[in-house]
Chains A and B, each alone.
Chain A
Amino acid sequence: MTAALTPRNAVIVVLMLLLAAVPVYAAVTANTFLVTLFTRVIILGMAATSLNLILGYGGMVSFGHAVYLGIGGYAVGILAQEGASSGFLQWPVAILVSALFALLVGALSLRTRGVYFIMITLAFAQLVYYFGVGLDRYGADDGLTIRTRSQFAGLLNLSDRAQFYYLCLALLVVTIYLIARLVNSRFGMVIQGARSNDRRMRAIGFATFRYRLTAFVIAGAICGLAGALLANHTGFISPATMHWTRSGDLIVMVVLGGMGSAFGPLIGAVALLSLEEALPVLIRVMASPLFGDAALRMAEYWQIVLGPLFLLVVLFARGGIDGLLAGARRG
């Protein structure tokens, strides 16, 4: 990994510095909303980074990745409801159950390719979603409120916004680093090779299935941890977190930010959530002179812009924001 001062690297450094500074700035300006917003960005960035491993590097388009956010969240929520609020129990369970489920789904889905695979992951996501809806004891459709955050025997106080924020940020950075190492290792070469030309991989002697399955499990496990974090953050978990359109959001983050790049997914998460906040304002500001009060209503429909914008990115800026920053991008 080179460390040249390219525009792209500069942006990343600035971004990380800004993220690190958020709680400080928020404390100074007494703006807690900022911390809340960016905690969410970081957690989703972590989830998107895990998806990038299989999507960006592995070419496995999973439309069911948000399921692991749900599994992780429900692990925390269910255990908390049953009286086990220790993070030392909840979080490993979240990771383990996510990994097992990924193993199951992957074993069934990875025998298929391309469009089949996409549809199958979609269907499995719905399966889990309906399972969640059926969990009467744990809120079913309405969801489960999580009254106490994960306890870490006094080592960490997750109720402290700043502490929690920095914990999430640390976990995000570790995730990005681990995945960056992973994709350049022998294992990563197999995953990338399988994406590039699976037939060739098998012809030179790789039994690609076991490696792709492993990547699938790793991605699921990391996302499960993100789910545990998310549940702590919102104090709530519901099946809606696992709906396949949420998986779509994660995919948007990865593609928008830049598939197959280490920081792309984080950039995508920042971009998407910024768009969510900024587009309505932008529309309101730009449309007011022309449409007056109607501009307020127009701003409500900002998502209308997002759809075609995303299509345009797919058609013309395939490497996402990271790709644009890095200049010419191969593939």
Chain B
Amino acid sequence: MADPLLEIEALTKRFGGVIASDAISLGVPRGELHAIIGPNGAGKTTLIGQLAGEIASDAGCIRFEGRDVTALSVDRRSQLGLARSFQITSLFLDFTALDNVALAVQAHAGHSFRFWRDARREAELRTPARAALARVGLAAREDVIVSNLSHGEHRQLEIAMALATTPRMLLLDEPMAGMGPDESARMVKTLRELKRGLTILLIEHDMEAVFALADRITVLVYGRIIASGSPEAIRANAEVRQAYLGEQEDGHG
């Protein structure tokens, strides 16, 4: 493909004797929503960890916008436009929802060696933060302390924070984890709106959502890619059905 936004080349990660990522190679073009699916233990979160910069790969290369980011720190990658949401909610629990998102805005609004002005009164920070909250449907909850929000609202907040960093690409790790059917539907709607203008790498278990949103799907099993292609191709792939989709039909894997 011509000039992918994100290019992963032979990415490998071992934990002791276990191969979590087995020479994974993948390219995500600009504007695509690429879903990664696979049974538990397939190494999906390890993959995101390496893409985000929290886990150091043993071998392989990650290129973002043509630039080799394999050795860059987590915060440097964020500054380059690669944003990530966490599978297990990771927020600033003792702050309000607005404070949380405003911090994400602040991280990309120049340096923070400003010691005097009250940051909570800075329109430069608060206005984009409110916009991000509105985009995920949390505008009404902006002054609620995050520990008092519901689990579904936490997941939405995760997305809002990722958005507030004005990213070029989103790495979403199971954004719908633990959500009921209503909340999931709302999240799918949100993600569909986000698709315009953003490239997204989505890890999900919720098959309905995956097939509704994805432009392409990659299937990961035991750290290896066993199939990658359009949703129809994946649905029809026998190996994939056996390894994964079959499980899903019996109940949650």
Give the tally of cross-chain contacts (CB within 8 A): 97
Contacts of A189 in B (CB 8 A): 99, 102-103, 106, 112, 119
Contacts of B118 in A (CB 8 A): 181, 184-185
Contacts of B95 in A (CB 8 A): 192-193, 196
Q: Does B104 contact A (CB under 8 A)?
A: yes
Is there an interface contact between B115 and A182, defined as CB atoms closer than 8 Å?
yes
Q: Does A187 contact B (CB under 8 A)?
A: yes
Least Cβ–Cβ distance between A203 and chain B, in angstroms: 6
The interface size of chain B toward A, counting residues with CB under 8 Å, comes to 40
Question: CA of A197 to CA of B147 in the docked complex: distance in angstroms?
Answer: 13
Contacts of A200 in B (CB 8 A): 86, 90-92
Q: Does A186 contact B (CB under 8 A)?
A: yes
Binding stretch for chain A, among B7-15, B59-67, B74-82, B175-183: B74-82
Known: A203-B52, A203-B86, A205-B165. A193 touches B119 (CB 8 A): no
Is there an interface contact between B114 and A196, defined as CB atoms closer than 8 Å?
no
Closest B residue by C-beta to A214: B113
Question: CA of A184 to CA of B120 in the docked complex: distance in angstroms?
Answer: 7
Contacts of B99 in A (CB 8 A): 189
Is there an interface contact between B107 and A206, defined as CB atoms closer than 8 Å?
yes
Q: Does B44 contact A (CB under 8 A)?
A: no
Q: Does A5 contact B (CB under 8 A)?
A: no
Question: CA of A188 to CA of B113 in the docked complex: distance in angstroms?
Answer: 9
8 contacts between A and B (CB under 8 A): A184-B119, A187-B113, A189-B102, A196-B93, A204-B83, A204-B107, A205-B165, A211-B113
- Known A186-B122, A204-B103; 12 more pairs at CB < 8 Å: A181-B115, A181-B116, A185-B115, A187-B113, A193-B95, A196-B94, A200-B86, A204-B107, A206-B107, A211-B113, A330-B145, A331-B93
What is B's interface to A at a CB cutoff of 8 Å? 52, 54, 73-76, 78-79, 83-84, 86, 90-95, 99, 102-104, 106-108, 112-120, 122, 125, 145, 147, 161, 164-165
Which 6 pairs, one residue from A and one from B, show the smallest C-beta to C-beta distance? A205-B78, A205-B107, A331-B94, A196-B92, A186-B112, A186-B114
